[in-house]
Amino acid sequence: MLKKHTAAALSIAFTAAATPLSAAELERLDVEGTQFKARFSDGRVLFSPDLVGATLTIAKGSGALKIRIDAVERDPGDSARAVAPSEAVMLHGFSVQGPDGEWKNLCDPGPDGRRQGFPVPGRANGDGTIGPAEPGVFELTCTGGAQGKCVRFGYRPWETRADGASMRDIYNACIRLVRADYSGDGKGSTRNGQPIDIYDFMGVQSPANDPAHEFEAGFSPDGAVCVRHVRVKANTSLEALEAQSPRLRGRTGDQCTEPFARANGAVLFVRSPP
C-alpha cells in the first residue's frame, strides 16, 4: 500500500489517451467508493473510467511520485454478486515511473494473479487499518494486500450497515483478520498463500465449512477477542500471544469457541487448517 495525502498534493497530467481537457484545470480530486472523482474548472466531473491514461503526480518528500492509470474495469466478483454499477468495485491497472523513467506495474500479483488496485477513502492509522478523513484524503491499495482483499470480500469502509452503523470497523476487523494481527498492534503473523475461511453473521461472507479447517479466532477492530489456534505456527504461538497481549490471557486454546468469540465482541470469524 502507498500512503497518499490530500488533493492539494496531487495533480493530474493528461496524456493523449485521456479525455482532452487542455482548457480546464483540476479543481478537486476525491474518491467515491473505489473510484477517483475529478472536478474540473469547466464544470465537468470525471470518474476513473474517464481517466485512463492520466498520470497522478504525488508530492513525496523533496520529490514526486508519478502513477499512471493504465486501465479500469469492474471487479468480476462484484458482477457475480449483481452489485449495481454505481456500487461496484473498480479495479485499476496502475504503473509507477521509476528514476530511470521506465514504467512498471505498481502492484505485485495477488492470489488470483491480478496486479490491480484502487483508491480507498480515508487515512492510514499506521497499524494497517484505515481511519476516517476529510474529503480528498485516500489510500492506494493493491488487490493482493489485506486492505484490497477486504474491500473485495464486501467489507466496504465507506458504506453503512442496515442498522445505520459504519462498515469501517468491520473493514478494519477484516484487515486484522487477514493479516492474523491477533494483538491488534499492526504486526501480522500470516504468510502469503495461507488458506483461510472468513465469515460473518451479517450476510456478507458465509463459511465454506471445509472439513480440513477448524475455528481459528474471532476478530474485532482491535484484533482477536480470542484465539483457538494460531494460523502459522512458525510465526507465533498461543503462549507468545498471551505473553504479549494482556487482553488475550485466558482466551486462547479450547476456551475460544465461536459462541465465546461472539459473546465477547467479535464481528468477523475465521477458520483455517489446524
**Which of 145, 169, 193 marks a domain boundary?**
145
The reply to whether 203 and 269 lie within a common domain is yes
- Going by C-alpha positions, the residue among 99, 103, 78, 83 that lies closest to residue 15 is 103
- Give the whole-angstrom CA distance, residue 105 versus residue 115: 7
- Going by C-alpha positions, the residue among 248, 250, 244, 243 that lies closest to residue 219 is 248
**Which of 120, 145, 170 marks a domain boundary?**
145
Q: Is the pLDDT of residue 3 over 50?
A: no
Q: Which domain holds residue 102?
A: 1-145
- Give the whole-angstrom CA distance, residue 236 versus residue 223: 15
Q: Is the pLDDT of residue 132 over 70?
A: yes
Which residues, other chains included, contact 259 with Cβ-Cβ below 8 Å and sequence gap of 6+?
none
Give domain status of residue 62, yes or no.
yes
Give domain status of residue 54, yes or no.
yes
Share of the chain above pLDDT 90, in %: 70
Q: How many domains does the chain have?
A: 2
Quick: pLDDT tens for 15-71.
434 455 555 678 888 999 999 999 988 888 999 999 999 988 877 666 778 899 999
Q: Is the pLDDT of residue 11 over 50?
A: no
The reply to whether 265 and 202 lie within a common domain is yes
Q: What DSSP state is assigned to residue 194?
A: -
The reply to whether 134 and 196 lie within a common domain is no
The reply to whether 133 and 26 lie within a common domain is yes
Q: DSSP characters for 52-74?
A: TTEEEEEEETTEEEEEEEEEEEE
The answer to whether the CB of 95 falls within 8 A of the CB of 115 is no
Which residues, other chains included, contact 197 with Cβ-Cβ below 8 Å and sequence gap of 6+?
207, 208, 209, 210, 213, 270, 271, 272
Give domain status of residue 150, yes or no.
no
The reply to whether 90 and 215 lie within a common domain is no
**Which of 93, 115, 145 marks a domain boundary?**
145
More confident residue, 183 or 6: 183
The reply to whether 112 and 180 lie within a common domain is no
Compute CA distances 242 → 10, 182, 208, 252, whole Å.
44, 10, 29, 8
- Going by C-alpha positions, the residue among 178, 169, 188 that lies closest to residue 147 is 178
- Give the whole-angstrom CA distance, residue 153 versus residue 257: 23
Report residue 174 CA to chain centroid gap.
9
Q: Is the pLDDT of residue 211 over 80?
A: yes
pLDDT band at 231; cut points 50, 70, 90: very high
